[in-house]
Amino acid sequence: MSIGSVLKDKRLALGIKQEDIAEQLGVTVQTVSKWERDVTEPKASQVFSLSKILRLSEKSICKGETSSVSDNPMDFMMKFGKVIHHLNDTALMVTLYDHIEDEESFYEDLVKQSDLPKEAF
C-alpha cells in the first residue's frame, strides 16, 4: 500500500470527510486530496494529528501500511487482560517501553491517572 491509500482507506472506513480532516489540521481539502492520491505527503508535524484523527499509528502512516489492530479499544483490552497476569513486572515494563512511540506523553498520562502530584515521582 501507499501512504495515500492508507489514509484514504482508513478515512472512508471511519466515515470521515476530507473536509473534516482538513479543518482539524488547518489545511485545505485539496491538500488532503493530494495526500490520498500520493501527489504529496503530509509533513512530519501533521502525521501525529492524522494518527489521532484516523486512529492509526504514526508508523502505519509513514510506512504506508495498515495493521490488523482493531478500531475497538476494548478488543485490545480484552487481549491485554488475558496475558498481563502471566508476565512479571519487568517483562511488562520492557515490552511497554519498546512499543510506546511517545514516552513523555505516556508517562504524563500515567501520572494524571495516578492522582498523585507529579513532584511525587
pLDDT tens series, the chain, 121 aa: 899 999 999 999 999 999 999 999 999 999 999 999 999 999 998 999 999 999 888 888 998 887 655 557 788 889 889 999 999 999 999 998 888 877 888 888 888 888 877 677 6
Residue 116 lies in a domain: yes
Q: Are residues 81 and 113 in the same domain?
A: yes
Question: Taking the model in full, what pTM does it have?
Answer: 0.60
CA–CA dist 18, 12 (Å, integer) = 9
pLDDT digits (tens, 9 = 90+) for 9-42: 999 999 999 999 999 999 999 999 999 999 999 9
Grid cell in block for residue 55: 486512529
CA–CA dist 36, 26 (Å, integer) = 17
Residue 12 lies in a domain: yes
Residue 47 lies in a domain: yes
Residue 105 lies in a domain: yes
Residue 68 lies in a domain: no
CA–CA dist 42, 3 (Å, integer) = 9
Asked if 32 contacts 21 with a C-beta cutoff of 8 angstroms, the reply is: yes
Secondary structure letter of residue 119 according to DSSP: G
Of the three residues 63, 90, 109, the one that is the final residue of a domain is 63
* Domain span including residue 79: 73-120
Q: Are residues 59 and 92 in the same domain?
A: no
Domain count, the chain: 2
Q: Are residues 56 and 78 in the same domain?
A: no
Q: Are residues 56 and 89 in the same domain?
A: no
Residue 113 lies in a domain: yes
Alpha-carbon torsion angle 54, 56, 59, 61, nearest 10: -40
